[in-house]
Every structure is written in C-alpha cells, then in structure tokens.
Amino acid sequence: MSASSDRVVVIGAGASSLVLELVAAGYRRIQAIDISAAALEQLRGRLGADADAVEFVCSDVRTIEFEDPVDVWHDRATFHFLTNPDDRAAYAARATAAVRPGGHLLIATFAPSGPDQCSGLPVMRFSAEALAAEFSDGFEPTGSFEHEHLTPWGASQAFVHLTLRRVVP
C-alpha cells in the first residue's frame, strides 16, 4: 500500500483513533463513514487542522454508493450490529461493489465467545469461517486471528479479525 495514493474507507469511524493514525501515517484519501453525524463531528474536532485529509460521510453502510473504487475497506465493530440476514447481505453487496479487484476488506466482529449485546443492542457473533462466508460472493479470506479487547471500563471482549481480498467471481 502507498499511503499517498490508496483510498481507504473506515466504516463506523465514530470517534475511533484509526482515522487519526492513518492521517499521521500520510494517508490523504480517507473516507470516514458513520451513521452518526455527531460522531463524525467529534472525529473532525479531534483531527483539527488535519481534518481536510478526510472526507466525512454520514450514511448507512447498507445503502452507501462510492464514485471511485476503494483500495481498503476497514470495519471494526459495525458489521456485528447487523442481526438481520438481509442487512448483512446488503452490507456485503456494498463492500463487493466498492472494493476494487485485488483490494482488501479488513473486518472485526465479536467472536463466538464474545458478548451477545453491545451498548444495549443485540449483536451477531462470528467465527472466522462464518464471517468469511458472509462475503464469499466477492472476497477470499487471506488471514484471521482472535483478540481479547479490553473495554474502557475493564471488561474483556473476544473479537475475530478477518482480512479478505476482493476477487472477481
């Protein structure tokens, strides 16, 4: 990847530090996507003068359209909130339409031993294999690992992280 030329979308960007880290690493073609305008404004404020390196998009990922191909699609902890199979299929279709052949999808969700709720909402839990199956129409898995995430309040949550490469079916 080339920081100056790769197009990266961060799904559920919210107040995550990933966008700040990408900007610090030299990425300048970043789209921060979140369904919450307030979360995007908080992120914009945290970026300060670097906010012009990011396009802030308030949208539902299940219906978003992209004008240009995406090199890297990153989602940590959005997909697992989609408990309806039709919503997950719509998300996968958006990712497949957006990511260029050879591009990458990086996704993290709750692992099978993870919580069954987050922020008071029901969530899905996935093994790496089950998560890969959700994207099998356009992607092939290239790696996975599980990780215990420690929340700000000290609780441990099991996550599965999966990397996939866009293929032409």
Per-residue pLDDT tens over the stretch 37-86: 999 999 999 999 999 999 999 999 999 999 999 999 999 989 999 999 99
Is there a domain that residue 26 lies in? yes
Is there a domain that residue 1 lies in? no
Is there a domain that residue 113 lies in? yes
Among the listed residues 133, 130, 10, the one whose alpha carbon sits nearest the alpha carbon of residue 64: 10
Q: What is the pLDDT of residue 117?
A: 83
Q: What is the pLDDT of residue 50?
A: 94
Residue 6, burial from CB neighbour count under 10 angstroms (0-12, 13-18, 19+):
middle
Judgement on whether residues 47 and 71 belong to the same structural domain of the protein: no
pLDDT tens digit string along 94-129?
999 999 999 999 999 999 998 888 888 999 999 999
Judgement on whether residues 43 and 73 belong to the same structural domain of the protein: no
Q: Mean of the pLDDT values across residues 135-158?
A: 90
Judgement on whether residues 30 and 76 belong to the same structural domain of the protein: no
Residue at 78: amino acid letter: T
Judgement on whether residues 121 and 74 belong to the same structural domain of the protein: yes
Q: What is the pLDDT of residue 168?
A: 85
Return the SS3 of 14.
Answer: coil
Among the listed residues 140, 131, 143, the one whose alpha carbon sits nearest the alpha carbon of residue 167: 140
Is there a domain that residue 89 lies in? yes
Number of domains in the chain: 2
Range of the domain at 54: 8-59
Judgement on whether residues 87 and 121 belong to the same structural domain of the protein: yes
Non-local CB neighbours of 122 within 8 Å, separated by 6+ positions: 83, 116
Query: What is the β-pairing status of strands 139-150 and 121-122?
Result: unpaired
Q: What is the pLDDT of residue 20?
A: 96
In the predicted model, is pLDDT for residue 131 greater than 90? yes
